[in-house]
Amino acid sequence: MKKKNRTWIIVLVVLAIVVFGIIKWGINTFNGFVTLEEGVTGQWANVENVYQRRGDLIPNLVNTVKGYAEHEQETLTQVIEARAKATSVTIDPTNITPESLATFQQAQDGLSSALSRLLVTIERYPDLKANQNFLDLQVQLESTENRIAVERRKFNEITRGFNTSIRKFPASIIANMKDFEKKGYFEAVAGSETAPVVEF
């Protein structure tokens, strides 16, 4: 009888250790997903920050161009409208879906396109191209575009880490139980494999 009791105690201790190990693994996995998801959210804030910086530069650029290029009212209006649309599209950082990211990116691409048309138009105004305020804004805008590229790349890297983690087995079990969903990526714009020619 004593041997039988001892066997049951050993079985219960081993079972308790296994159950405790599974619970601990589940908690650690869940907390790891939370950390990764917060990383995606934090990097999204960085992306929004650089897009906001670009949006903040545009009114100064438009006002500077206005003084020299009075006949370009249609182009200036397109830039202003594209900026308004781009700044009105926002994404809930807790729900960065591929669809919402595509909508955001489409609005930002519209602004980029309008800015490109404006910069091409400026070629006709040599006095404007020589204006120091315009040159400073151009440098800031170029710097901001570079920052946007860097932050988007970082966002995609962090998002890839999160998406990979929630799909790996057996961690995917916890991800499905706790509704961790795949996040969207920034994707290259169609035709972006051909570098644009920009001349100032």
Within a domain: 56: yes
Is the residue at 190 inside a domain?
no
Tell me: cis bond preceding 170? Omega within 30 of 0 counts: yes
pLDDT along the chain (200 residues), means of 10: 77 90 90 91 91 88 76 80 87 84 89 85 76 82 89 93 90 86 78 46
Cα–Cα separations (whole angstroms), residue 200 to 8, 10, 43, 62: 83, 80, 33, 17
In a domain, 127, yes or no: yes
Does residue 196 fall inside a structural domain?
A: no
Structural domain containing residue 41: 2-177
**Would you say residue 112 lies in a domain?**
yes
- The confidence score (pLDDT) of residue 71 equals 67
- Any domain includes 53: yes
Q: What is the pLDDT of residue 125?
A: 75
Look up the CATH number of the domain holding residue 107: 1.20.1440.20
Q: Which amino acid is at 60?
A: N
The Cβ-side half-sphere exposure at 32, using a 13 Å CA radius, reads: 17
Please, are residues 199 and 126 in contact by the beta-carbon 8 Å criterion? no
Asked whether residue 78 is domain-assigned, the answer is yes
Domain count, the chain: 1
| pLDDT value at residue 116 | 86
Asked whether residue 136 is domain-assigned, the answer is yes
